[in-house]
């Protein structure tokens, strides 16, 4: 047994609580030793990480890879290639597909596709719609249950409409069922009745529908800001009553009231609630949004509150949502932005954007390890299998060069549309190796893994963890 597969040599290893110089030995997909490489046996492969930072494989917890049903927008191969290029070793895919994975059969069908096409490891949300299916989805390996407590105000986004759970009785029964599985329940909160009334009254009914009008409505919290907070308010109460662990999605596009509600529930009441902050919204400016044109979820209402939420314990996971559409779908938004679907790109851009913030001193690389690796791995119940560089953990590494500069541009993107919401922004700090279970899947922007290499990681209910 004393030959090994991979040595990562010369790097600085990062954990959530510090960093140190050491080399890493990998065998049979797992980390088998950490220390001075001189002591290790020879390896099949060596990665020279001299001058680089070696992070536990980073997660992207909010991917819409659009398969099955909408592969014109994205698919598991294009999406996970973008992720790999962006330094991501593990993706969690959302549920607004056609058909949506709300039944055992549809979940398994989707899993079959993903297994054949993914280039990095992945987990799948089960779609929370039918209380009696929740247990089956958990048994089939769902990593969590996603609920759309929303509906598009003009119903132009039908595969979300189908998944919309607005009736609080139904929502509660889903919470009860998820509580029984021990999984977390991730919810996109909303209050479409309110948003609809406000936007129709002040915009749509009076013919103000252009991109710039939409931006104005967004700024007022009509699309969808305040509605999301009101939805959250009731949901927090029901989640607590049902005993489910609530995982709040889309913090970042919610007004400050949402942060306070979560803080109150977590810190003062001791409720088990987690929050996923779309931290990239704190970097999106109105100017950038207007430049790239039709879009929906855009900038943070209060970037300061967003950043503060890292300090205050409100935020548990950070991400830059990846929700791509075709150019053709988005283009009409210049004239009627109220009728285009929700979208932004992020799988490939998220980590470079964050590394830039690390260089700016906004957060530390250790924080990135916490929010994008250890913390989600703990919340989703797969730590220390993933989420850490330690003995017997999966050999997933994101190796970054903190000095490399790049300008984000559509031509470099692996997402199907070859566009980016971050067009033209310069980043400092780039992932240079993405290593999954000991295999280099990305080196210097080149994807080396084949579709199907990525492996499905079942949630804790299925794995018995």
From 352, 339, 331, 351, select the one nearest 419 (Cα to Cα): 331
**H or E stretch covering 368:** helix 365-369
| Distance in Å, CB of 10 to Zn ion, minimum | 38
CB–CB of 396/322 below 8 Å? no
The token pair that represents 77 in the structure block: 């191969």
Cα–Cα distance measured from residue 380 to residue 189, given in angstroms and rounded to the nearest whole number: 20
Determine, following the binding rule CB under 5 A, whether residue 188 of this chain makes contact with Zn ion. yes
Nearer to a copy of itself, 41 or 51 (CB): 41
With contacts defined by CB under 5 A, name the span among 7-15, 188-196, 233-241, 265-273 that binds Zn ion: 188-196
Determine, following the binding rule CB under 8 A, whether residue 35 of this chain makes contact with a copy of itself. yes
Q: Is 55 helix (H, G, I), strand (E, B) or coil?
A: strand
How does DSSP classify residue 266? I
DSSP string, 142-158: -SEEEEEE---TT---H
| Distance in Å, CB of 226 to a copy of itself, minimum | 6
Nearer to Zn ion, 81 or 151 (CB): 151
Nearer to Zn ion, 292 or 319 (CB): 319
Partner whose binding site includes residue 188, from a copy of itself, Zn ion, none (CB under 5 to 8 Å by kind): Zn ion
Determine, following the binding rule CB under 8 A, whether residue 260 of this chain makes contact with a copy of itself. yes
Partner whose binding site includes residue 231, from Zn ion, a copy of itself, none (CB under 5 to 8 Å by kind): a copy of itself
Q: Return all residues near 167 (Cβ < 8 A) that are at least 6 apart.
A: none
Burial category of 303 from C-beta neighbours within 10 Å (exposed 0-12, middle 13-18, buried 19 and up) = middle
Determine, following the binding rule CB under 8 A, whether residue 179 of this chain makes contact with a copy of itself. no
**x/- site string to a copy of itself, residues 372 to 411, per CB under 8 A?**
------------x-----xxx-------------------
Point out which residues pair with 89 in neighbouring strands: none
Residues 146-175 that bind a copy of itself (CB under 8 A): 167-170, 172-173
Determine, following the binding rule CB under 8 A, whether residue 236 of this chain makes contact with a copy of itself. yes
| Distance in Å, CB of 16 to a copy of itself, minimum | 9
Determine, following the binding rule CB under 8 A, whether residue 196 of this chain makes contact with a copy of itself. yes
Residues 385-444 that bind Zn ion (CB under 5 A): none
- Angle at alpha carbon of residue 454, lines to 12 and 439, rounded to 5°: 40
């Amino acid at each position: 047994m004393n030959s090994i597969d991979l040595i990562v040599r010369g790097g600085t290893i990062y954990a959530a609580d510090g960093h140190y110089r050491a080399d890493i030995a990998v065998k049979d997909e797992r980390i088998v030793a950490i220390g001075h490489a001189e002591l290790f046996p020879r390896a099949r492969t060596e990665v020279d990480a001299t001058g680089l930072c070696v992070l536990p494989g980073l997660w992207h917890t909010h991917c819409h890879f659009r398969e099955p049903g909408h592969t014109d927008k994205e698919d598991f191969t294009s999406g996970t290639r973008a992720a790999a290029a962006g330094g991501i070793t593990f993706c969690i895919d959302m549920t607004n597909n056609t058909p949506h994975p709300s039944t055992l059969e549809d979940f398994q069908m989707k899993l079959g596709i993903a297994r054949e096409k993914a280039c990095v490891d992945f987990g799948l949300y089960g779609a929370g719609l039918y209380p009696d299916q929740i247990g089956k989805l958990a048994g089939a390996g769902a990593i969590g249950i996603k609920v759309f407590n929303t509906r598009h105000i003009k119903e132009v986004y039908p595969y979300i409409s189908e998944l919309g759970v607005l009736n609080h009785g139904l929502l509660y029964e889903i919470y009860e069922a998820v509580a029984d599985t021990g999984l977390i329940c991730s919810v996109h909160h909303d209050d479409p009745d309110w948003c609809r009334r406000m936007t129709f009254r002040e915009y749509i009914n009076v013919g103000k529908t252009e991109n710039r009008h939409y931006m104005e409505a967004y700024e007022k919290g009509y699309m969808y800001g305040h509605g999301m907070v009101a939805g959250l308010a009731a949901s927090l109460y029901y989640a607590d009553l049902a005993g489910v662990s609530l995982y709040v999605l889309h913090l970042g596009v919610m007004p400050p009231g949402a942060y306070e509600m979560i803080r109150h529930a977590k810190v003062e009441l001791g409720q088990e609630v987690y929050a996923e902050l779309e931290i990239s919204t704190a970097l999106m400016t109105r100017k950038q949004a207007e430049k790239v044109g039709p879009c929906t979820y855009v900038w943070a209402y209060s970037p300061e509150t967003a950043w503060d939420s890292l300090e205050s314990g409100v935020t548990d996971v950070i991400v830059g949502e990846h929700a791509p559409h075709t150019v053709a779908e988005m283009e009409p938004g210049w004239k009627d932005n109220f009728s285009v679907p929700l979208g932004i790109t992020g799988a490939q851009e998220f980590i470079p954007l964050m590394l830039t913030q690390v260089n700016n001193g906004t957060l530390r690389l250790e924080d990135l390890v916490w929010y994008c690796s250890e913390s989600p791995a703990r919340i989703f119940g797969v730590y220390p299998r993933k989420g850490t560089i330690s003995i017997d953990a999966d050999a997933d590494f994101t190796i970054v060069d903190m000095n490399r500069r790049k300008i984000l541009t559509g031509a470099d993107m692996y997402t199907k549309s070859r566009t980016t919401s971050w067009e033209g922004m310069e980043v400092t700090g780039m992932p240079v190796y993405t290593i999954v279970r000991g295999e280099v899947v990305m080196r210097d922007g080149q994807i080396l893994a084949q579709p199907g290499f990525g492996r499905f990681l079942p949630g804790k209910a299925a794995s018995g963890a």
